Structure 1
Amino acid sequence: MPRVEILGLPVDLVSLEQAVERIGEMLESPGTHQVITLNPEYVVRAQGDPQLVQAARESELVTADGVGIVWAVRQLTKQQLPERVTGADLVPALLERFGPRLRVFFLGARPGVAQKAAENTMARWGIQVVGVQDGYFKDEAPVIEAIAQARPDLLLVGMGERQDLFIHRNKARLGARVAIGIGGMLDVLSGEVRRVHPLFQRLGLEWLVRIAGDRKRWGRFPRLIQFVRLVRAAKRAHG
């Protein structure tokens, strides 16, 4: 599986179908495998956080979550990604492909959201729910213990900026086959939030629509601008 590097972080050159196939192999392999859906904000944060860099480098799969990463790969490596592979597309594709055979643990979001996401997911795809926990906890130990005892095939973690480091830090103790940081996808699965019109999804502008419609997300713009600046600076530096 070809892997390139942008601004010190890896990106796997995979399509959605290839990502699903790769995760299918992970589900059959021992140990816990981490999947990161890389977005521009992660890249910007990682410039000042070695732990984020290490988490990405040690992940078994890093997909391009959004057009920004696709653009950066083209600018900095001359490689062409088959397509972007967002968490919003990858999670439903996994649930659709593996369905009733999947034992899933839902972790994150506000109280009640993960439970509703689990119920909706079970009703739609027939998965087995082996655990639910909201993201509002202070002590990690009981949460990690609950996950380890459940031994899920798939651990879905929706804890925003905390999620990927939580998985990486506790990887050896989670007991899950595959752990994915899925951002706000628990809200979507629960029905609390709807995905934007398919046209904006195809154009890769779902993130922009969500930011424009939610003032709480407006703070993301400076990081997106910084990402563009970093890519352009790196391109100039390497000719």
Structure 2
Amino acid sequence: MERLTLLGLPLDPVDMEGALERIGRFLEEGGAHQVVTLNPEIAVRAQEDEALRRAVLEAELVTPDGVGILWAAQRLCGAKLKERVTGIDLTLALLGRFPGLRVYLLGGRPGVAEKAAKEVARLGGEVVGFHHGYFREEGPVLEDIQKKSPDLLLVGMGERQEVFIHRNKAHLGAQVAMGVGGTLDVLAGEAKRPPLWAQRLGLEWLLRVGLDPKRWRRAPRLFRFAYMVLREKG
């Protein structure tokens, strides 16, 4: 299927298998590729953050991350997408599909990426490097990533991750770079995913917001996303 346009942003109407096939081609052809897992929060932020909007517009793959994106795609584009393709699920699927994938992990508090690296290795990936996300100077971090030249760079740096990848994509030396949010915390055992029933219903975000006061400030963006979709549809 051709790329969709959602609130002025691109969306590739892929399911998990389609995303894996596309990334497999990226790995074969070489070069630098950015993967964005688009959720409602990113879509809202991109309306006002030009750097983020440019990162999404120029990403080589934009997957539907979030039940809200599936709803918006059907309402605005008439496209009934099969499933969400989230950062954590895509990460796990890539490690299963491509044994020996050379992986670099960037993000989280000091110690988190190191713990996550052990889990990535257990799942069959070859960890070539890791670094926490609390650095002041990008230079040494970029130099280390470029030196390690990973197949897959996982960046868990919250709201900074997509713009960081886009700004440095040509100099990272990574074939595929993907923003993965809290995935490193999950892999490190520092955070747990919501129950399976919540994942299947696409309610992970609701449970996270409800259980973590730090996320309450993000809730208005979800309501704004719904308003924007309804307003655009008229």
CA distance in 2 between partners of 1:232 and 1:167 (Å): 31
The alignment status of 1:112 with 2:141, answered yes or no, reads: no
Superimposed CA distance per residue, residues 185-212 of structure 1 (whole angstroms, 9 cap, x where no aligned partner):
0000001111111111000001111111
Cα distance in 2 for residues equivalent to 1:127 and 1:221: 35
TM-score by length of 1: 0.96
- Give, in angstroms, the shift of residue 230 of structure 1: 0.7
Residue 131 (structure 1) aligns with: 129
SS at match of 1:170: helix
The aligned residue for residue 121 of structure 2 is 122
* Equivalent residues in 2 for 1:20-39, closer than 5 Å: 20-39=20-39
Whole-angstrom CA distance in 2 between matches of 1:197 and 1:165: 31
Gaps spanning 5+ residues in structure 2: where? none
Matched-pair contact (CA < 8 Å) for 2:107–2:134? yes
| In 1: Cα distance, 2:119 partner to 2:82 partner | 31
1:12: which partner in 2?
A: 12
Following superposition, the deviation at residue 89 of structure 1 comes to 1.0
Residues in 1 aligned to 2:176 and 2:15: alpha-carbon distance in whole angstroms: 18
In structure 2, the partner of 1:144 is: 142
Matched ranges for 1:188-203 at <5 A: 188-203=186-201
Superposed counterparts of 1:64-213, under 5 Å: 64-100=64-100, 102-123=101-122, 125-213=123-211
- Partners of 2:120 and 2:88 in 1: how far apart? 14
Which runs of 4 or more aligned residues in structure 1 lie more than 4 Å from their structure 2 counterparts after TM superposition? none
CA distance in 1, matches of 2:77, 2:14: 15
Corresponding residue number in structure 2 for 1:44:
44
Q: Percent identity?
A: 59
The total of aligned residue pairs comes to 234
Alpha-carbon distance in structure 1 between the residues aligned to 2:59 and 2:43:
15
Q: Secondary structure in 2 aligned to 1:73?
A: helix
1:201 and 1:6 mapped to 2: Cα distance?
23
Contact 2:120 2:126 in 1 (8 A): no
- RMSD, aligned α-carbons: 0.9
Which structure 1 residue ranges, 5 or more long, are not aligned? none
Distance (Å, rounded) in 2 between the aligned partners of 1:204 and 1:2: 24
Instruction: Provide the secondary structure at the position in 1 that maps to 2:63.
Output: strand
1:28 match: secondary structure: helix
Residue 74 of structure 1, CA deviation: 0.8
1:126 is displaced (CA, Å) by 2.2
Q: Report Cα offsets for 1:25-82 as digits up to 9, x if no partner.
A: 1111121100000011111111112221211111110001010011111111111212
TM-score normalized by structure 2? 0.98
Whole-angstrom distance in 1 between the partners of 2:178 and 2:157: 11
Q: Which amino acid aligns with 1:206?
A: E
Aligned to 2:98, the other structure's residue is in SS state helix
In the TM superposition, what is the alpha-carbon distance from 1:2 to its structure 2 partner? 1.9
